[in-house]
A and B are shown apart, each in its own frame.
Chain A
């Protein structure tokens, strides 16, 4: 974009993807050129690759408190969710044909569940209420003697709300499992891992999905944690890689990168509470102070430290996004207009928000690389951009008219 030349560029869309950390780029480099072996090969090239992969597996396992053999490397969050849901339902299909999930999962979960519905599975989509949090009592009420899998995201990708996974795990462990051994809990933790300290054992889940590119590693790599003792049916046929759970030659440079990023994330996890969360709070407070007619979406107590989701009433989120992009600031929106119909965010719709609130929503998602100066720059340009769009908006003019009528009557 020509207009962007010579302008600041600031990235507040870290829930979409993150910049690869320079340490990570450095770590993976030699695995393209010097240590390029196939981890299945017996010679020294292969063994070097295998050793690097083992180290990365330990690093990723350490980040979430898993054991070495409980980590399966694969292509990313979408594949992890597919392998978890399809793999478990296929492996235990004679043990039950019912899945519990929520209305605001990522499409990788929702569409996988929908495809299983076509194959005869029953799926319950739990409500998430205005605060964007699933309720344990709804999980209890949805449970049947056919329920095989509960799959709920750990934190929502658009509003950042954290789900009561540990409580649900405790309920399953204490109330269901004594009666029925084959019930499993999967969580899509793509947004959480690396931002909030997380331990699979104390969380009590059977499977957990991770995407590396959300934590400063490259795209195309991720992992599924599968608790020891849980069987899954591999979804592609081929070699014996990943202990027969994911066939295909391992992507060693990406795996090394993932391992390095996981270790950096583990070491930097406090940065999120010390640095990113206060920055996000500052961003929200200043926006609230300087711009009227806002709605803050999602629960404010149980949420990720790096996401703010705010609706700017009387403007369209996509127009706002493009206007901000012209100022060099990248954010995302829950309103995407296509072919003359606005495809609204299923997440914000699930919260029961009014149409125009969904329409004006923006998500700001920070990383440990964002600075106070960057937030200040946003705060400098955003009020004027919103004001400009509102000045054009006939909806806003209506609001102003109504207000002046009201004040005349008063």
Chain B
């Protein structure tokens, strides 16, 4: 199995590593089966995602998924972010090895969890 160029670039140089301060929302989601975790910070200003940061622990796909997610959703409106799916993320990541889709699921779950906190 070979990973995509994008995937490898994000492993070599993960993007937007870190955490944002309030009023940004910070959430942490964990895959209970394998222990992988993503901590995502999302700042929304004027109805748009203005800043995203992440930290991640887990296998390479989890790290790459979190890193790619931060780049993709920056600038999204809340509506766009709300309908963003695992499949959308996988398209950017390139093909994931069999059994690794859960990594993209986890990243998208982090995004949607953060959005739900914003709206409430």
Q: Which positions in A face B, CB cutoff 8 Å? A: 1-3, 314-316, 318-319, 322-323, 326, 335, 337-342, 355-356, 359, 388-389, 391-397
Report how far A340 CA is from B63 CA in the complex, Å: 14
User: Is B55 a contact of A394 with CB atoms below 8 Å?
Assistant: yes
Report how far A341 CA is from B102 CA in the complex, Å: 9
User: Is B60 a contact of A318 with CB atoms below 8 Å?
Assistant: yes
Contacts of A396 in B (CB 8 A): 57
Identify A3's interface contact among B5, B35, B55, CB under 8 A.
B5
User: Is B55 a contact of A392 with CB atoms below 8 Å?
Assistant: yes
Q: How far is the CB of B64 from chain A (nearest CB, A)?
A: 9
User: Is B59 a contact of A339 with CB atoms below 8 Å?
Assistant: no
Query: Which residue, B11, B36, B57, has most C-beta atoms of chain A within 10 A?
Result: B57
Contacts of A322 in B (CB 8 A): 3, 11, 60
Identify B58's interface contact among A3, A326, A337, A391, CB under 8 A.
A337
- A385's nearest neighbour on chain B, judged by CB, is B12
Q: Is the interface of B mostly helix, strand, loop or mixed?
A: mixed
Q: Is the interface of A mostly helix, strand, loop or mixed?
A: helix
Query: Which residue, A315, A391, A392, has most C-beta atoms of chain B within 10 A?
Result: A392
Starting from the known contacts A316-B59, A397-B55, 12 additional A-B residue pairs (CB-CB under 8 Å) come to A319-B11, A323-B12, A340-B33, A340-B102, A342-B33, A342-B35, A359-B35, A392-B54, A392-B57, A393-B56, A394-B39, A394-B56
User: Is A337 a contact of B36 with CB atoms below 8 Å?
Assistant: yes
Identify A323's interface contact among B38, B54, B60, CB under 8 A.
B60
Q: How many cross-chain pairs have Cβ atoms below 8 Å apart between A and B? A: 83
B side interface size, CB within 8 A: 31
Q: Which 3 A-B pairs have the closest CB atoms?
A: A340-B102, A339-B99, A337-B59
Q: How far is the CB of A89 from chain B (nearest CB, A)?
A: 35
Contacts of B19 in A (CB 8 A): 397
User: Is A326 a contact of B8 with CB atoms below 8 Å?
Assistant: yes
Contacts of B31 in A (CB 8 A): 340
Q: How far is the CB of B118 from chain A (nearest CB, A)?
A: 20
16 pairs, A vs B, C-beta closer than 8 Å: A1-B8, A3-B9, A314-B57, A319-B60, A337-B34, A337-B58, A339-B102, A340-B102, A342-B33, A342-B59, A392-B14, A392-B17, A392-B55, A393-B55, A395-B37, A397-B19
Q: How far is the CB of B52 from chain A (nearest CB, A)?
A: 14
Given A341-B33, A342-B34, A392-B11 contact (CB < 8 Å): no
Contacts of B34 in A (CB 8 A): 337, 340-342
Query: Is there a chain A Cβ closer than 8 Å to B2's Cβ?
Result: yes
Report how far A315 CA is from B35 CA in the complex, Å: 12
